[in-house]
A and B are shown apart, each in its own frame.
Chain A
Amino acid sequence: MEEKKLSVNNLVISFRTPGGKVQAVRNISFDLRKGETLAIVGESGSGKSVTSKAILGILAGNSIVEGGSIIYDGMDLLKVGEDEFYRIRGDRIAMIFQDPLSSLNPIMQIGKQLTEAMLLKGKARQKSSRTAFNTTLDRLAEAMAAARPSEGAQKASQMCKNFDRFEMKHIELEKAYGEAHEAAGEAGDAISDVLFHIEKNAFEDQKYSLKEIIRLSGETVNEYVVSGSDRERLKKLLEELKSCMNSEIRKKEYPETVRILKELSGILESALKKEQPDFSSMGCYLVDSGKPLPDMPIAQLNSFLKEYADEHFMNEFRAWMREALEYNAKTYNDKKKLVIDAIGERKQTFAGTDWDKKACQDAAAALCSAVNESIDPLEVEKDGEAYTFAETLKAAVSDYFEGIQKNRKAVALHDKQQKKYDGLKARGKEPGWKVPPSTAVDLDLVRDNVNAILDRMAAHYQERLENAKNVDFVGRMSGLEEFFKENASGVVMRITKRMAKYKALKLMEEVGITETRKRYRQYPFEFSGGMRQRIVIAIALAANPDILICDEPTTALDVTIQAQILELINKLKKDRNLSIIFITHDLGVVANMADRIAVMYAGKIVETGTSEDVFYSPAHPYTWALLSAMPDLETNERLEAIPGTPPNMIYPPVGDAFADRNKYALKIDFEMQPPMFQISETHSAATWLLHPDAPKVEPPKIVTDRIARMKLKGGAINAE
């Protein structure tokens, strides 16, 4: 199974309003895996946007997070402070908002807004990457020294230092190569575009594109892309192009330009075909031997370099690293055993109903430190359960003792009001008000909660220990190397203003904005709605995030642009292995995007499954209603609109929230909330219709017809 990126557990959020407490999100849980798209579908007011805002920590001031956790990268996002959140928000979790105008600064040029974050975050990222790189390397050195005490710490730290130098050199070389290679590709594309326009007799006033070609081609000069005699030829050609360009544009005849461009594209093509050298070994060779590279063809060079690097450094380093990892795993597994024992011992303190404050707090502190000590710092894939244990336990314990205090007051207040009410009743008066329910904390629940946290932790560690034999150390090693590489590139990557501008222009082009140079200097009010939305998407993508939350990104756009944007998001997902949460009310859009779908209604997830599950065998009446309200190209019969409006969530219904608008509602739907019924491994829905005793109900005809049609044609509606 793919790595979990984000997991939301039992999230409950309400809003304080003058009318009462609105329950926006009622106990939802879901996981987001790496590289997948999870779509959350529902009407407006179903709590989908609130969930996404909670993930980003930008809930409105009147919101109350009543419970649950959102675990990301070993942190509980509901408990993270604002300072910490600066590092996450926009950088690692980015969001595309529904309303583009409200997320753009009206008095700032578009270009500035696009580059602002890049420039700011660029510096911060450089620093944080360096710290992450250094601390992990130090830990590795420690572990290496401990794993081989006979050979001493000296050697280990020397090796790590060497690794640092090699890695930085490697990344520098690779980055330079990558930029030149990319420039060559782009220049090639630009040239064929210009040639196409000239051939069609439609090339005019595109001075910029020729200039762009000159700039891009100039950037392709690199030892391994365009070098040697090619480089001289390229320079000569560019000079020629510069001198003839202006006069030919004026005359609107391009004999010289075409000749030069064709020659240029020949050079670039052969450059793109060249093999990529092994930079990792090259970095090692250059730094270690201090000698220049031997002159040989690339394939030969690669094997030479690899041999050199393996012999002189990598083999030894890898062996040490493996030992260090194994040693660490063993040490920390012992500590995990201690934690399990400690939990077993300390559980006594939390047993029964009468807790001793001092003893409980001591026990909690001891357990927290034990768990914190048992976390292996060399594990790149963070164990969310362990990382968030301390915070969660402390919060729960303090909830209990604060609750005792609060309850005294709350009970007294409630008793007073009840007395007054009873008094009035006794005198035969009918009071025009009701006694508000007591606000006392349910201490039993809190106690259960604390015990559940402990049990979960113990069970989790038990499982880890049982699996300890099957740990894939080769995989963990490559994970660690990948981690180092990522951070090293974060250190080497320096973003200048010019680069940021160039990147911004490219992003604008990528999201389909024409005349980017002119647009770059304009203000948000000069853009149409669709254009603004594209800018917002470009800004969200600029930071290169880990998780992208899209809150109705295409609702305001028309079909062609919607298709472009969706394709763009899909492409980015594939390229960068992004995890996406896609929020929308339009099921048609989702089929294209989602791997999994969660249908939300009135703050609850009513159905969840893979997109095939939800589209080919929907189970919840609300999903049926959504599907039947939407026309497709072959719909002829009358659409089935969903009658009524969503319920008022100040007084959430006792039973199924959708029962009032549901023509398939059973009697029990009005009395009791349905649990989640598992239909298949991936598919489940919360409706009493799935209960074994429920009558058999078929989905509406419009839905079954469509599904039959889709199956018949093998999903090829309108494919002619």
Chain B
Amino acid sequence: MPNKDETLLRVEHLCQYFKQNKAVDDVSFEIKKGEVFGLVGESGCGKTTTGRSIIKLYDITSGSVYFKGERIAAGTRSYKLNIEAAKKKYEDELKELEQSGRSNEEKDKLRREKKEELDRYIAQQKQEIHSARADHRKHKVVTDIQMIFQDPIASLDPRMTVGQIIAEGLRIRGEKNKKELDEKVYQALEMVGLVREHAGRYPHEFSGGQRQRIGVARAVVMNPELIIADEPVSALDVSIQAQVINLLDDLRHKMGLTILFIAHDLSVVKYFSDRIGVMYFGKLVELADSDELFAHPLHPYTKSLLSAIPLPDPEYEKRRKRITYVPLRDHDYTVDQPTLREVLPGHFVHCNQAEFERYRRETGAADEA
């Protein structure tokens, strides 16, 4: 068994802006080795963007992504902002200095000191930018992280055979021996429950569930440590969904995989994940163990999300009341800005101080009862 405490992936203050649009805004989390981390939220909340930023399909705006302790992706915006803020502060201080009633000599001296301090700070930040860029460039391709896409039809090239599709990653990595390549492809096919003969066929000859299996085979053939599964089952029928989930579950135990599972179907996420992060408009609003999250949701958005899950129980459904989430009504952030705080051990909520204290009281009461 892999060591559960080892951190495989660490995301720190990840920001991904598309011009004015803050798709992902200051998201931080860790994924331990061997666990399944679920990321849920409504469409457009930035969960897919987070997944793609980690695998470097985008150049991130700010923040860093550490994989096995090494920084594989980094953005520079925060440092640039720091420099600008420092410059502004310096100018303000100069103005203040002009107006103060000190002697000219004293003013000169202070001015010089401040200038030096500023230069030092800028140099330090520039150094950071430099190292971030270097780290970002150094790890151009990360083959230890693989991705499974949502739409099994759109993500497979219709002009390539299944064998070519699966082998493509290996070939790009530099595998040349044809025989070895084929052997690996066959192994991967068998691992996902297909047979060797399927390697010669084209994607359109397969049913939806089988196509998703091909997508999984393409990911596992690289022998990755982390798989980012971006809504792998939402385009599938219920019966086939179960097949794919069971397959991922088997592979995870067999290969000791770590999975970042992105989905919007909460029942599936709850069933499959160890820990769950809830995203809302680019922010991570709550993060906890999956049982804990479903038992004691704290953030109002999580509550509204949980209240929207349909269950196969007509009596319950007749009584189910959906809670709506209106940020303006539910929070008062005019004075104190919210951050991600740890309310209970391992249970983080995006809140400000007042809410933090309220949540603590609530959970304390919940625990006693």
A interface residues (Cβ-Cβ under 8 A, vs B): 43-44, 196-197, 200-202, 528-530, 556-563, 566-567, 585-592, 611-612, 615-616, 625-627, 629-633, 635-636, 638-642, 645, 706, 710, 714-720
Contact = CB atoms under 8 A, between A and B. Distances in A.
Interface in B261-277: 264-268, 270-272
Contacts of B249: 638
Contacts of B271: 631, 635-636, 639
Nearest to A703: B312
B316 to A, nearest CB: 4
19 contacts: A197-B328, A559-B265, A559-B266, A559-B305, A563-B322, A567-B322, A591-B316, A592-B317, A612-B314, A615-B313, A632-B267, A633-B270, A639-B245, A640-B242, A642-B239, A642-B242, A710-B315, A715-B314, A718-B306
A558 B43 CA distance: 6
A641 B312 contact: no
Contacts of B320: 592
A615 B264 contact: no
B316 A625 contact: no
B44 interface: yes
B39 to A, nearest CB: 12
A43 B312 contact: no
Given A630-B267, A631-B268, A641-B239, A557 B310 contact: no
B99 to A, nearest CB: 31
Nearest to B325: A560
Given A200-B328, A557-B43, A630-B267, A587 B238 contact: yes
Name the residue among A44, A590, A592, A719 with the largest chain B CB count within 10 angstroms: A592
B319 interface: yes
B141 interface: no
A556 B43 CA distance: 10
B243 to A, nearest CB: 4
Contacts of A44: 208, 237
Contacts of A631: 242, 245, 267-268, 270-272
B310 A588 contact: yes
A616 B41 CA distance: 31
B153 to A, nearest CB: 12
Given A615-B313, A638-B249, A715-B316, 18 more contacts: A43-B239, A200-B328, A528-B44, A560-B305, A561-B42, A563-B308, A588-B312, A590-B312, A592-B317, A627-B312, A633-B266, A633-B309, A642-B243, A706-B312, A717-B311, A718-B309, A719-B316, A720-B295
Closest 5 A/B residue pairs (Cβ): A715-B315, A558-B264, A563-B308, A631-B271, A641-B242
Interface in B220-246: 234, 237-243, 245-246
B304 interface: yes
Interface string B288-328: 00000011000000001110111111111101101000001
Interface string B75-113: 000000000000000000000000000000000000000
Interface residues of B, number: 47
Contacts of B308: 559-560, 562-563
A101 to B, nearest CB: 12
Contacts of B42: 558-561
B155 interface: no
A641 B237 CA distance: 11
Interface of B: 41-44, 207-208, 234, 237-243, 245-246, 249, 264-268, 270-272, 294-295, 304-306, 308-317, 319-320, 322, 328-329, 332, 334
Contacts of B328: 196-197, 200, 202
Given A560-B42, A718-B294, A718-B306, A591 B312 contact: yes
A706 B315 CA distance: 13
Contact of B317 (A591, A626, A630): A591
Contacts of A625: 239
Nearest to B231: A558
Given A638-B246, A710-B316, A718-B294, A585 B43 contact: no
A511 to B, nearest CB: 15
A556 to B, nearest CB: 8
A12 to B, nearest CB: 25
A630 B242 contact: yes
Contacts of A587: 238, 312
Contacts of B294: 633, 718
B244 to A, nearest CB: 8
B250 to A, nearest CB: 9
Contacts of A629: 238-239, 241-242
Contacts of B207: 645
A611 B314 contact: yes
B45 to A, nearest CB: 9
B267 A633 contact: yes
B311 A632 contact: yes
